[in-house]
Amino acid sequence: MSPSERTVMTVWAEVLATEVPGPDADFFDLGGHSLAAARVVSELRRTTGLRVGLGALLARPTVADVAAEIDRLSAEQGAPATAAPATAAADAAEGA
């Protein structure tokens, strides 16, 4: 299991208040709905510092697919997929 998959599973478990069995888990099968999806995206953005889109979750709602989107966004930005914004901000301050 990748770090991005672990991050997605942790966020889903918190938002949905349920256990997420693995990377093939489907957000909607776990009880997710549009309002919860918005909360998940907000938390993933906060956790990763990446602009994870709601459309990505709605179109491909498995842990593995959302984690792949996080990895793709991370590669585009050249940042670690699971870096918290506070860490990124601290790194930027040190380099300034």
pLDDT grade, residue 90 (50/70/90)?
A: very low
17: left (phi over 0), alpha (psi -120 to 50) or beta: left
Check residue 80 and give its pLDDT: 57
Check residue 77 and give its pLDDT: 86
For range 30-34, the mean pLDDT: 96
Instruction: Tell me the C-alpha distance between 47 and 45, whole Å.
Output: 6
Residue 86 CA, distance from chain mean position: 16
Q: Please write the tens of the pLDDT for every residue from 35-72.
A: 999 999 999 999 999 999 999 999 999 999 999 999 99
Check residue 79 and give its pLDDT: 57
Q: What's the CA angle centered on 37, arms 72 and 65, to 5 degrees?
A: 30
Burial of 40 (0-12, 13-18, 19+ CB in 10 A): buried
Tell me the three state secondary structure of residue 25: coil
pLDDT grade, residue 7 (50/70/90)?
A: very high
